[in-house]
Amino acid sequence: MEHFLKKVIRNYYAAKHEEAKSISFDECFPGEGEESNSRTRFTFPAGLAACLVLAIAMSVFYQRFAIPGSAEGVESVSVMASLHQDIQGSVVLGLSDVQATALLEELEKFIRSQSSGEMGNLEMMKLELLGTLLESRKLELSNSQAVAMTGLMGRWYPRMKDGAISEYVWMDDSELNQFVADCSTQCHTTADFDSLDDAELTNYLLNCLGSWSGTNCNQSGVIEINGHRILHAPGVDSGVDVNI
């Protein structure tokens, strides 16, 4: 079978390459002094852009949410709207793994420093901001980055009361392990996400992020995405995912 497939595929791509015009090295390689004059860019390094967006976000949220009050909900909407406008038109941030890891670490430190066990409005908004960045495609993540990001989010465990989420609790390692064990005994689903391409998988994870604050926490399970075992709770289309 392999021999047959190899022959067919080789023939197919050989024909495609034969049709394509060749590309000369000298046409493509920039000569001396051409770097700064090139029409092509990297005018706004992704790392710098990421830091900038993060800094703006933190600054805005610190200002807006320093004093808790009843108008927080309304304010949060307007802040999100204005922030969303601010980032409209800016470059798409594609992060390298190193940059993404740094961002995740900063985000985790930030969230931890702002919370003593319970997630407040500030942290919730922070997560929503990240969701907005992702959904507006201003921040594009690879599969593994998205999984890592989702894993971080998954540390916030929704505590239920009277059938609704009453609070979010940050889990330490032992709590996380217990949570995973509890959920695994309730429901275990192995979904085949291997056929999803990057965009589809990211969309799936975004849906999980997007419905973070959903209240239909009634189901949980373990799914496997490209070799990563991920705890998924609740439901199929919404909830919390923990990379395990």
Partner 1 sequence: MARLARNSNIRESELRLLHQDISRWALYCVDFNHDLAKETIQQTYLKIVEGTAQFSKKSTLKTWLYSVVRITAQEIKRKQGSHLASAGQESIDTLLAEEESTNAQDHFANAAVEEALGELSLMQREIIYLVFYRDMPLSEIAEILGVSIGTVRKQYHRAKNKLAGLLKTSEEEDKNGTFFEKSYT
Binding footprint of partner 1 on the chain (CB under 8 A): 1-2, 4-6, 8-17, 19-23, 25, 27-30, 35, 38, 40, 42, 45, 92, 94, 97, 140, 142, 144, 194-198, 226-227
Query: Nearest approach, Cβ of 53 to partner 1 (angstroms)?
Result: 18
Contact 108, 152 (CB under 8 A): yes
- Roughly what angle, to the nearest 10 degrees, separates helices 121-135 and 97-114? 160
Query: Nearest approach, Cβ of 86 to partner 1 (angstroms)?
Result: 21
Query: Nearest approach, Cβ of 95 to partner 1 (angstroms)?
Result: 12
What end-to-end distance do the CA atoms of the chain give, in Å? 37
| C-beta closer to partner 1: residue 95 or 153 | 95
Query: Nearest approach, Cβ of 221 to partner 1 (angstroms)?
Result: 21
| C-beta closer to partner 1: residue 172 or 197 | 197
Provide the token pair at 124. Answer: 């919730």
Phi and psi for 91 in degrees, rounded to 5? Answer: -70, 155
Query: Nearest approach, Cβ of 84 to partner 1 (angstroms)?
Result: 20
Provide the token pair at 143. Answer: 């599969």
> Position of tokens 């798409």?
92
| C-beta closer to partner 1: residue 223 or 240 | 223
158 prior amide bond cis, ω within 30: no
| C-beta closer to partner 1: residue 92 or 181 | 92
Contact 212, 153 (CB under 8 A): yes
| C-beta closer to partner 1: residue 41 or 161 | 41
